[in-house]
Amino acid sequence: MAGTLRRLVRVRDLSIGGGAAVSVQSMTKTATSNVSATVAQIRELEAAGCDLVRVGVPDLAAARALGEIKSQIGIPLVADIHFDHRLALEAIAQGVDKLRLNPGNLQDPLKIKAVVEAAAQARIPIRVGVNCGSLPHEVRARYGVQLSSTEGSARALVEAALTHIKLLEDLGFEAIVVSLKSFDVPSTIRAYEIMAAERDYPLHIGITEAGVPPAASVRSAVGIGALLSRGLGDTVRVSLTADPVEEVRVAIEVLRSLNLRAGGVTLISCPTCARCHTDLQPIAAEVERRLRPLDRRLRQARRDLRVAVMGCEVNGPGEAREVDVGVAAGPKSAALFVGGEIVGHIPPAKIADALVAEVERLVAEP
């Protein structure tokens, strides 16, 4: 599926493309020059399942903080550079693991050459990251009103990326990752389809400026899921106006839904209807909240565990029997299933406690 036909690029010890598992990344929302706050947020992201993290580098103070930040985190660090190539050079000197350059904001061939030469010497890759909101002026002028169409917008994104990629290739640099992001889902999908036919560089995918959850989570899931189902996408970032940990959670759920992410707890729960005899919504929410720490442990161990919270006798017994731990609620009690077998009946008020206890027991087993 995803990543099978793209060339391999290494970001420190993380493989992107070449058939490697799709990686999840996010971006910090702290001031990068505030080392302690940035490190704290990166550690939260890493605990949530983030594989690599990007930080904004708007000024020299931020660039000079990168080395100290990197020394205190466990996942690869990506520097996001716009406008000033000197910030990229300082980021490289500080030991970052990857650069993101925006062709719309950094176009001088001589300055790009200086950055590429330094990146090549440090053996770090560069993501050519194009956004619809910051297309190069000449591309925006050439496409004009076509930018309002899916095809025109997509081709403008690709042209901007290919122009920049050509500069890097002419310098003998091919440790490249490409992204082509728009708020518009069809334009984004089309842009990646065109790019995939042009070059075999790994693809970083996402829907940019998606907005506020839950609408933004849905928009991101639709766009990213559509691309991954086409075999396009080697690393993903969900862009939300929210806590970046939520970005990671959404990304991981998208990957899990396509069987592209191993490890963790999958919660199956009944939507409820008139057949439901129990107020299931707060129970399912409590179970989900209490399983989060166990979910992290299972992800780190690359171990899968499925839990079902079901509310009636129609689908409940079947779903609860097919998972590792499940309950099927009836009129007076809920049947507790472990490994497909009924192990007891519990009152509704004890469903969450019983489920979590069984999951904890299974997690503790080797």
Please give the structure tokens belonging to residue 103: 């062709």
Q: Is the pLDDT of residue 2 over 70?
A: no
Q: Is the pLDDT of residue 92 over 70?
A: yes
Separation of alpha carbons 363 and 358, rounded Å: 9
Per-domain residue ranges of the chain: 9-257, 264-364
- In DSSP notation, 58-75 reads -SHHHHHHHHHHHHT-SS
Separation of alpha carbons 91 and 60, rounded Å: 9
What pTM value is reported for the model?
0.89
* Residues 6+ away with beta carbon under 8 Å from 211: 219, 240, 241
Q: Is the pLDDT of residue 336 over 90?
A: yes
pLDDT in tens, 28-72: 999 999 999 999 999 999 988 999 999 999 999 999 999 999 999
Separation of alpha carbons 30 and 42, rounded Å: 10
Quick check: 204 and 179 in contact, CB under 8 A? yes
pLDDT in tens, 259-278: 998 888 899 998 888 888 88
* DSSP conformational letter for 231: T
Give the highest mean pLDDT range of 233-242, 266-275, 311-320. Answer: 233-242
- In DSSP notation, 9-23 reads EEETTEEESTTPPPE
Please give the structure tokens belonging to residue 25: 């990344």
Of the chain, the percentage scoring pLDDT greater than 70 comes to 99
The residue to which tokens 């980021």 are assigned = 91
Separation of alpha carbons 93 and 133, rounded Å: 29
Classify 45 as helix, strand or coil.
helix
The residue to which tokens 């025109």 are assigned = 152
Superfamily of the domain at 9-257: Dihydropteroate synthase-like (3.20.20.20)
Separation of alpha carbons 225 and 253, rounded Å: 10
123 torsion bin: left (phi>0), alpha (psi -120 to 50), beta (else): left
Please give the structure tokens belonging to residue 214: 């839950």
* Among the ranges given (47-51, 117-121, 252-256, 276-280), the one the predictor scored with the smallest mean pLDDT: 276-280
Please determine whether the domains at 9-257 and 264-364 fall in the same fold group of CATH.
no
Separation of alpha carbons 169 and 327, rounded Å: 57
**Can you say how many angstroms the Cα of residue 82 is from the centroid of all Cα atoms in its chain?**
22
Q: Give 73's Cβ-side CA count (13 Å radius).
A: 33
* The pLDDT value given to residue 3: 42
Separation of alpha carbons 261 and 272, rounded Å: 28
State the CATH architecture for 264-364. Answer: 2-Layer Sandwich (3.30)
Verify cis geometry, omega within 30 degrees of 0, for the bond prior to 76: no
- Kindly give the residue spans of alpha helices, DSSP state H, lying in 107-208: 109-122, 137-143, 150-170, 185-198
Quick check: 328 and 319 in contact, CB under 8 A? yes
Q: Give 56's Cβ-side CA count (13 Å radius).
A: 9
